[in-house]
Amino acid sequence: MKKIAFVPPWFGLKIPGGAEAACRDIAFHLKDAGVEVEILTTCVEKFASDWNVNYYRPGVEIIEGIPIKRFKVTKRDTKAFDRVNAKLIKGMPVTLEEEEIFFREMVNSEALYKYIREMQGDYDAFIFIPYMFGTTYYGVKACPEKSILIPCLHDESYAHLKGIEEIFKCSQGMVFLSRPEMELAERLYDIGDKKRQVIGVGIDTKTKGNRERFIKKYGIENPFILYAGRKDAGKNVDTLLQYFQAFLAMNPGANLDLVLIGGGSIDIPEAIKDRVWDLGFVPIEDKYDAYGAATLLCQPSHNESFSIVIMESWIEGTPVLVSAKCDVTKDFCIQSNGGLYFKNYYEFEACVNLFIKNTHIAARLGKQGKGFVEKNLSWDVVTAKYKTFIEGL
């Protein structure tokens, strides 16, 4: 195999985001498995920064043995982009002309696309992640016959753009992080017999959380529900807080707390502030200790293409509770038999009571989730699947 290149819109070791983490993890593990890997990206720092600003110098930087080749961003009309993007956020239809504005005025690098066109003979594949950015839209078009998508696809307004269907149809292959994600792509786009496979992201299956160490360090004595991830309404954490408040009101004397770990901020209702522990970012060791100490992990988000925190929780033998409105996390629970799902408060209450009053059932669910991850998502398994997929093209 020649070298392969991952093409994200930005790259850094500490950039937050699921697609960003997936890109890093897959690239570094393929490198460790003997594949020659490069990262081709822009000089933009991260999603939340100004896409007109070259935060990094253009050129090559070596990070953990992988060359990171950065290219200057193309200047963009931010106001024109924002006008179209505002319509998409609201779910309003856009014209083909507005679509062109959307792709042209988002994060782009003409220097990057020129490099892909001119140097494509040096690479076996260009892997674009995620689907909605200019680096993917124009990058795939620069060399469609060697393009692989890891789309991280959601059923949202961006996924229904004609330009997105175009890059799915002209890319050489697609790797999905979950079964519902692939089924969504098959419903939305005419991708026929395009080579595609559900592979996912690998998980470190050798971690070992320490329940006692976590309880001692943070002084959390009650059993608790754990939420791990970004704390904002987009992740449906506000609903989790509302449901937890209702649970305490409907179950007086319940010996249960809620622990939040991760970035972002959200208002905690005054009535339950003494039962909610917002720990913010915690060290990696503490995160795994928290999984091991929790009664259950709750992932309430409606919109996921994968969920690393669910898999990490299962590795520690802790069961999960997810939203029935998220096809992806619900499907993982069904496949693994490692968790339950809720569609309203009353189902949430029933599931939580089942976990806390039937510890043997909770333990069995956690054990089944762990077996699912070890069989399907250990890094040895995942990297072997990626290598086989790329070689098959």
Say whether pLDDT at 393 is over 90. Answer: no
Collect contacts of 264-270 with beta carbons under 8 A, ≥24 apart.
264/230, 264/231, 264/232, 265/231, 265/232, 266/231, 266/232, 266/233, 266/237, 266/238, 266/241, 268/241, 269/241, 269/242, 269/245
* Burial of 155 (C-beta count, 10 Å sphere; 0-12/13-18/19+): middle
Q: Is the peptide bond before 130 cis (omega within 30 degrees of 0)?
A: yes
Task: Identify each DSSP E strand in 257-303 by its residue range.
Answer: 257-261, 276-280, 296-299
Residue 180 vs residues 167, 222, 311: alpha-carbon distances, Å: 20, 36, 17
Strand 296-299's sheet: what is its strand order?
276-280, 257-261, 224-228, 296-299, 320-323, 339-342
Q: Is the pLDDT of residue 1 over 80?
A: no
Cβ neighbours of residue 253 under 8 Å, at least 6 residues apart? none
Q: Residue 349, Cβ neighbours under 10 Å: how many?
A: 16
- pLDDT bin (cut points 50, 70, 90) of residue 230 is confident
Write out pLDDT tens, residues 241-265: 999 999 999 999 899 999 999 988 8
Residue 20 CA to residue 318 CA, distance in Å, equals 26
The pLDDT value recorded for residue 346 is 98
Model confidence at 2, in pLDDT bands (50, 70, 90)?
confident
* 57: DSSP letter: P
As a residue count, the chain comes to: 393
Q: In the chain, what's the furthest Cα-to-Cα distance?
A: 68
Q: What pLDDT digit, counting tens, does each position of 108-165 carry? A: 999 999 999 999 999 999 999 999 999 999 999 999 999 999 999 999 999 999 999 9
Let me know the angle formed at the C-alpha of 112 by 109 and 115, rounded to the nearest 5 degrees: 150
| 236 Ramachandran zone, left/alpha/beta (phi>0; psi -120 to 50) | left
Domain annotation for the chain: domains and CATH numbers? 3-202+378-392 (3.40.50.2000), 211-376 (3.40.50.2000)
User: Mind listing the pLDDT tens digit for each residue in 169-225?
Assistant: 999 999 999 999 999 999 999 898 899 999 999 999 999 999 999 999 999 999 999
Q: What is the pLDDT of residue 343?
A: 97
Least confident of 23-37, 221-235, 362-376: 221-235
Question: pTM of the prediction?
Answer: 0.91
Query: Could you tell me the CA-to-CA distances from 365 to 47, 224, 257, 302 in Å, in that order?
Result: 36, 17, 21, 22
Q: How much is the pLDDT for 14?
A: 87
Q: Looking at residue 265, what is its pLDDT?
A: 87
Strand partners, 56: none
pLDDT for residue 228 is more than 90: yes
